[in-house]
Amino acid sequence: MTAIDESGFVALTRAVSTRAGLALGAYKEKCVQRRIAVRMRACGVHTYGDYLALLEQTPAELDRLTDTLTINVTRFFRNAETWHAVRAIVLPALGREPGSGLRAWSAGCSSGEEPYSLAVLAAQWLEEREDWPALGRLQIDATDIDRASLQRAEQGWYRPETVADVPPELLTRHFTMDGDGFRVNETLRSRVRVRRVDLNLQPPLRQDYDLILCRNVLIYFDRATQERLCRVFDGALAPGGYLVLGKVETLFGEVRDRFTLVDARERIYRRCA
Ligand SMILES: C[S@@+](CC[C@H](N)C(=O)[O-])C[C@H]1O[C@@H](n2cnc3c(N)ncnc32)[C@H](O)[C@@H]1O
């Protein structure tokens, strides 16, 4: 970047951070530049200054840019092996105490596929043990920064192609056909609390989670933010609680000493008791 580009970039990201309520300074700069370039190409502008002027005249473009910046790609049971490991390692360890519940946080939940995958898996696990009351003690917090994604998570309605990765027997058991798609049944939707939380600006909703899923989110942040968020997860987990990161993400910083790596392949960590 030339000095002019650099100052244009700084002015643009400041304006976007303020207007969209997005702390862009915490994200990897290259990643932000690539995403902005996508929108600039789509709009046919060539300088950061021109793009900022266009953003000021066209409020809808700010939404499109925010959408592009937040990268909401997700799927039900994304990385199936990780879910097998959650089922084999995490659920049995957490459900051992009679009357115990499960408090989980899907941090960066996008449109809800991740928290509902967990709800489906936990319900199946509990049903196999005929522990029906425990479903009432399942509480999953699903948080994200992106309002449009959160609205979809709240509705819990998905197109047929979106639920294609849900095993058929679980689709029949936990979803109902609604129009030309499928809606997660109320029994499970009531177990998922959808809230807007910007991981860079707001604290977790609670400090006693048994399980935190933060997958494919840290990757977009700079190193200092990654370390800070690892400290946040440490503080938000109950002793012995589990943290699941994305397949290419790792625990950063001094908190590594307080976690045991339980499954290196699936990036599952356990906070020391
Ligand atoms: C690639 S998706 C991952 C979705 C899901 N965890 C998965 O692995 O399938 C990344 C999500 O992180 C969210 N995100 C990005 N920055 C965030 C922030 N500062 N606070 C909360 N969520 C954020 C995005 O809106 C997006 O929904």
For the beta carbon of residue 40, count every other beta carbon within 10 angstroms.
18
- What is this structure's pTM? 0.93
**Average pLDDT, integer, range 215-226:** 96
Residue pLDDT, tens place only, 38-61: 999 999 999 999 999 999 999 899
Residue 187 token pair: 């029994």
Among 35, 103, 189, 267, the one annotated catalytic: 35
Number of Cα atoms under 13 Å in the Cβ half of residue 157: 7
Delimit the domains of the chain by residue range: 3-70, 80-271
Residue nearest atom 14 of ligand 1, based on CA coordinates: 108
Residue 34 token pair: 């690539």
**Contact yes or no for 112/157 (Cβ under 8 A):** no
Q: Is the pLDDT of residue 1 over 80?
A: no
**Domain 3-70 fold:** Chemotaxis Receptor Methyltransferase Cher; domain 1 (1.10.155)
Please give the helix or strand (H or E) that residue 125 lies within, else none. Answer: helix 113-128
130 DSSP β-pair partners: none
CATH of the domain spanning 80-271: 3.40.50.150
Please give the helix or strand (H or E) that residue 106 lies within, else none. Answer: strand 102-107
**DSSP 8-state secondary structure symbol assigned to residue 178:** E
Which residue bears the tokens 């058929």?
Answer: 168
Pocket probe mutation, ligand 1, options 32, 67, 70, max atoms within 8 Å of Cβ: 70
Residue pLDDT, tens place only, 131-176: 777 788 899 999 999 999 999 999 999 999 999 999 999 999 999 9
- Write down the pLDDT at residue 130: 80
% of the chain exceeding 90 in pLDDT: 85
| 133 Cα: distance to centroid of ligand 1 (angstroms) | 32
| Counts of helices then strands in the chain (DSSP H, E) | 12, 10
CA dihedral 155, 156, 157, 159 (to 10 degrees): 140
| 94 Cα: distance to centroid of ligand 1 (angstroms) | 25
**Contact yes or no for 31/71 (Cβ under 8 A):** no
| 72 Cα: distance to centroid of ligand 1 (angstroms) | 6
**Contact yes or no for 77/83 (Cβ under 8 A):** yes
Among 78, 103, 141, 144, the one annotated catalytic: 144
- Write down the pLDDT at residue 215: 98
- Write down the pLDDT at residue 3: 65
- Write down the pLDDT at residue 22: 85
Mean pLDDT of all residues in the chain? 94
Tell which residue, 180, 100, 109, has the closest CA to residue 138.
100
